[in-house]
Structure 1
Amino acid sequence: MGILKGYSKEEKSWMMYDWANSAHSVIVVTILPIFFNTIATERGMSLWGFATSAAMLIVALLAPILGAFGDFKGYRKKLFFVFMLLGAASCAFLALTPLMDLSTPEHMETVAMLILVLYIVSTIGFAGANLYYDSFLNDVTTPERMDKVSTMGYGLGYIGGSTIPLLLFLLLVGAFGVDMMSAMSFAFGLTAVWWFVFSLPLLKNVEQKSYQEKDPHPVRSSLKKLAGTAREIYAHKNMFVYLIAYFFYIDGVNTVIHMSTSYGDTLGLDSTKMLLALLLVQVLGLPFCLLYIKLADKFGARFMVGVGIGVYCFITVFAFFISKEWHFWVLAILVATSQGGIQALSRSMFGKIIPDKKRTGEFFGFYDIFGKFSAIIGPTLVGITSSLAYDVIHSANPALSAEAVEAQAAPWGVLSILIVFLIGGFTYFFVLPKYLKKD
């Protein structure tokens, strides 16, 4: 692959995991909500938002302890493997759900609940593995190359796991006439295999170089270290304020990712055309990631993350007014411009300000907890706002069908995401610079 020329074997093996886990990001996070909405009862978008929040809450509570465990010698790769395997196995079980009995409302409700459980478990596996994957960044490259390596990882994810499984799914449905349920079953099964197989380069070629010696009482030791790490983060005000800003703006990014197809489906947009638009996001993801690398070299990673926050503020407002399919295509292109760049540069920015490289897992555990706790707020905010709007609209127009009421309520739920972007943006643009000058 020509674009990987100049990268080391360890860097390429690390980046390949983005290629591996991106299949989950596009298949489970975008196709599964559409399937869920077809069999769920009322308020499918709200239920999906609450399930996403539940998954993120579990990961957020575990993240600091998991991160501290990953810093012990020889633990990081083993724990990475456990969570990766948990996520892939959940996807394998999801492959069975489209083939289950959906002949009655009771059966549909049972399958819908099973989908939510497997979705939560797969999300826990995805997030847990990512915590250790992020921690390996300091093991495979230098601070000077972090922006480039981190962003290229996201780029590989776009052209690999994010694009190929989705393209195969669309070809099965559109070109080969495979029925939707069988195609979904294939897509979820492929995600499991894809995720596992393309994780092997990291497992084979990446080693934990930054570590602390094993402790005879790892649980007690990890819990003790957490309090010290928290105090250390607070003492480094540039890191602390950055995490506060990250907490809010990445919440908006994650909420847009998790709720986009659920939102479009609620509005009654054609599922196949929506997925084609999302395929366009993946195709454009790599060139825009490469553009972010170039611009970060010229203007700095901090400036480019700020650009991403601004783009997402506009995306949230624009999404409120979506009513036609071409609107969704425009929205998809806007997301493609900044989705990978803002996540990749945020990761590398944090990696560079970690004060003790032997404890990257511990610090990335806190980075992860900020990201995951924030991911509870956005979907919950969407769920509550859309549910409240549903009640208001239904009371004012009792003759409207449930689908019509939900279609009118959903935009208000999406608009609520703007709140977290504004808080994150204010902290990032006006508070963080003061502390960056001091540290």
Structure 2
Amino acid sequence: MFDFANQAYTLLIITVVFGDLFTRIIVGDGPDYRLGNLLWSLALAASYFLVVTAGPVCGALTDYSRSRKRFLFASYLLTIIATALLYFVEPGWITLAVVLIIISNFAYAIGENFIASFLPDLGPKKALGWISGLGWGLGYIGGLVATAFTLLILGEVSEANFDRIRWVGPFAAAFFLLAALPTFIWLKERGRRRPPPVGESYLRIGFRRLGHTVSNLRGFRDLSILLVSVFFVMAGIYIIISFSFIYGAQVIGWEEHVRAMMFVTVQITAAIGAIGFGWIQSRIGARLTYMITLVLWMAAIIAIWQTPGLTALAERWLDVNWEAQYVFLFAGSLAGLSLGSSQSAGRALVGVLTPRGKSAEFFGFWGLAGKAAAIFGILGLGIIQAYLGLADAILFCLALFVAAFLAAIPVNEARGAAMADSWRDPHRTD
């Protein structure tokens, strides 16, 4: 249910509505919007830098204190408040928009670490792919509900419609607030709360546990290798999440109804990808599933980049007169399948390779790899598009997925799972 709830923020604020609103209306440096795109990438990169700084320490602290749920609740409230305040941003109020995006996206992103750390507690390792896929699939269904309502009720992103579309912030906040309540009512924290020893503080314990884990991380060889791959794949995914609908508006030049069709297409295919590949993963293993999803990503990026070329080929070979914006829907279908399946498979594979008792800490490293990647990917694309334009900058994304695939080749799932199962917490007393 938390996956169901938080997709309202990702889609409405980062992907579909507010990102487009920020670049074209709030900054509004048309016709190419290069400054708006760059400022958007800088705001997101700054928020992910905060997650990179805080995530692993918070993970170590919450593992020790058994307070993951409290930290999750704090991130949830901060996301809701900062997102609701986006209503007050006016065209030209760039600083306020940037500050609120940094705060809200930081809170949302670190909350992803906290909720993911519960995954190893929800079932046996063989079932984690299915459980993760089901959660991610429900997330895309939640995003579909939230964004469909927004597009139907609030309308298009335009200066003429600004007084209505500005309500996207409060609506995303309200959806997250209500839909995540079942998580806090029924989700149980494993183990008893553990106060700090006399003369110690939680913060000092968190840093010490983090240092111990870093020094021993090479012992978890396969998890360490996987995190390198996760870095590259998440760099590419965050580019797609942050710029896909901006790309459609600026490069493809789609009409409003095609934008709505793309949203529905991506949500449905992403849900199918997450749930379907979760089922496949329980039969062929997490690593192989993860590798297949990376190949899907490469195909999707090539289709996005070559949308005009595919349109010309369809006209020449099939004797049809399709517009590029409709061919772009095909690329969106591939991206949707890749988006849901790769994130679900990657999260589940981390869960398989993570020892119990260190889940929040190791998922903090997972979050660190992902958010450091977001900084690298989003800033990289922002700088490249400032010189080359957004259309050609997408090739940077393809290079990232190729690097992710190559980095994951040495991962041995069976060896890594055995290492995780054999680990024992030296500080455990119950």
TM-score above 0.5, yes or no? yes
Q: Which amino acid aligns with 1:348?
A: A
Matched, 1:226 2:207: no
Superposed, 1:177-256 pairs within 5 Å as 180-210=161-191, 213-215=194-196, 216-256=200-240
3-state DSSP class of the match of 2:64?
coil
Q: Distance in 2 between matches of 1:271 and 1:227?
A: 51
Q: Which amino acid aligns with 2:63?
A: D
> Once structures 1 and 2 are overlaid, which stretch shifts more, 297-306 or 207-216?
207-216
Q: Distance in 2 between matches of 1:335 and 1:214?
A: 46
Q: Indicate conservation of the 8 Å contact 1:263/1:410, yes or no.
A: yes
Cα distance, 1:387 vs structure 2: 1.4
5+ long unaligned stretches in structure 1: 1-15, 101-107, 390-408
Q: Distance in 1 between matches of 2:189 and 2:413?
A: 35
Cα distance, 1:248 vs structure 2: 0.9
Matched, 1:294 2:279: yes
Among 75, 94, 113, the residue aligned to 1:112: 94
Q: Distance in 1 between matches of 2:399 and 2:414?
A: 24
Matched with 1:148 is 130
Q: Which amino acid aligns with 2:237?
A: V
Cα distance, 1:272 vs structure 2: 4.5
Cα distance, 1:135 vs structure 2: 1.0
Cα distance, 1:143 vs structure 2: 2.1
Q: Indicate conservation of the 8 Å contact 2:287/2:411, yes or no.
A: no
Matched with 2:360 is 361
Q: Distance in 2 between matches of 1:76 and 1:252?
A: 28
Cα distance, 1:189 vs structure 2: 1.3
Matched with 1:284 is 269
> Once structures 1 and 2 are overlaid, which stretch shifts more, 74-83 or 376-385?
74-83
Matched, 1:38 2:19: no
Q: Indicate conservation of the 8 Å contact 1:50/1:380, yes or no.
A: yes
Structure 1 residues 310 and 212: alpha-carbon distance in aligned structure 2, compared to 1, 3 A threshold: farther
Matched with 1:136 is 118
> Once structures 1 and 2 are overlaid, which stretch shifts more, 233-242 or 280-289?
280-289
Matched with 1:68 is 60
Deviations 1:219-254, CA, capped at 9 Å, x for gaps: 111111111111222221111111111111122122
Deviations 1:59-108, CA, capped at 9 Å, x for gaps: 111111111121133521111111111111111011232xx3xxxxxxx3
Deviations 1:326-375, CA, capped at 9 Å, x for gaps: 132112111121211111121111112113x1121111111110111011
Q: Indicate conservation of the 8 Å contact 1:288/1:338, yes or no.
A: yes
Q: Distance in 1 between matches of 2:44 and 2:255?
A: 23
Among 428, 431, 438, the residue aligned to 2:408: 428
> Once structures 1 and 2 are overlaid, which stretch shifts more, 360-369 or 132-141?
132-141
Cα distance, 1:211 vs structure 2: 6.8
Q: Distance in 2 between matches of 1:27 and 1:69?
A: 31
Q: Distance in 1 between matches of 2:247 and 2:97?
A: 18
Deviations 1:360-394, CA, capped at 9 Å, x for gaps: 111111111011101111111111111122xxxxx
Matched, 1:81 2:73: yes
Q: Which amino acid aligns with 2:86?
A: L
Q: Distance in 2 between matches of 1:138 and 1:436?
A: 18
Cα distance, 1:163 vs structure 2: 0.7
3-state DSSP class of the match of 1:269?
coil
Q: Distance in 2 between matches of 1:23 and 1:414?
A: 25
Q: TM-score, normalised by structure 2?
A: 0.85
Among 415, 422, 425, the residue aligned to 2:395: 415
Deviations 1:90-143, CA, capped at 9 Å, x for gaps: 11011232xx3xxxxxxx33x233222211111101111111101112233332
Q: Distance in 1 between matches of 2:73 and 2:379?
A: 30
Q: Distance in 2 between matches of 1:136 and 1:295?
A: 22
Matched with 1:339 is 339
3-state DSSP class of the match of 1:141?
coil
Q: Distance in 2 between matches of 1:275 and 1:94?
A: 22
Q: Percent identity?
A: 23
Q: Distance in 2 between matches of 1:73 and 1:219?
A: 11
Structure 1 residues 307 and 260: alpha-carbon distance in aligned structure 2, compared to 1, 3 A threshold: same
> Once structures 1 and 2 are overlaid, which stretch shifts more, 229-238 or 135-144?
135-144
Matched with 2:291 is 306
Q: Distance in 1 between matches of 2:119 and 2:275?
A: 19
3-state DSSP class of the match of 1:273?
helix
Q: Distance in 2 between matches of 1:427 and 1:200?
A: 38
Q: Distance in 2 between matches of 1:291 and 1:344?
A: 10
> Once structures 1 and 2 are overlaid, which stretch shifts more, 88-97 or 319-328?
319-328
Q: Indicate conservation of the 8 Å contact 2:9/2:172, yes or no.
A: yes
Matched with 2:373 is 374
Matched, 1:52 2:44: yes
3-state DSSP class of the match of 1:416?
helix
Q: Distance in 2 between matches of 1:428 and 1:212?
A: 37
Q: Indicate conservation of the 8 Å contact 1:95/1:184, yes or no.
A: no
Deviations 1:235-294, CA, capped at 9 Å, x for gaps: 211111111111111221222111111222222333452233112211233233222123
Matched, 1:172 2:164: no
Q: TM-score, normalised by structure 1?
A: 0.83
5+ long unaligned stretches in structure 2: 309-323, 420-430
Q: Distance in 2 between matches of 1:174 and 1:80?
A: 32
Structure 1 residues 211 and 358: alpha-carbon distance in aligned structure 2, compared to 1, 3 A threshold: farther
Q: Distance in 1 between matches of 2:20 and 2:145?
A: 19
After the TM superposition, which parts of structure 1 deviate over 3 Å for at least 4 consecutive aligned residues?
433-439
Matched with 1:121 is 103
Cα distance, 1:18 vs structure 2: 0.5
Q: Which amino acid aligns with 1:425?
A: F
Among 248, 251, 258, the residue aligned to 1:273: 258
Deviations 1:2-33, CA, capped at 9 Å, x for gaps: xxxxxxxxxxxxxx001110101110112111
Q: Indicate conservation of the 8 Å contact 1:274/1:328, yes or no.
A: no
Structure 1 residues 252 and 435: alpha-carbon distance in aligned structure 2, compared to 1, 3 A threshold: farther
Q: Which amino acid aligns with 1:277?
A: M
Structure 1 residues 112 and 293: alpha-carbon distance in aligned structure 2, compared to 1, 3 A threshold: same
Q: Distance in 1 between matches of 2:21 and 2:236?
A: 24
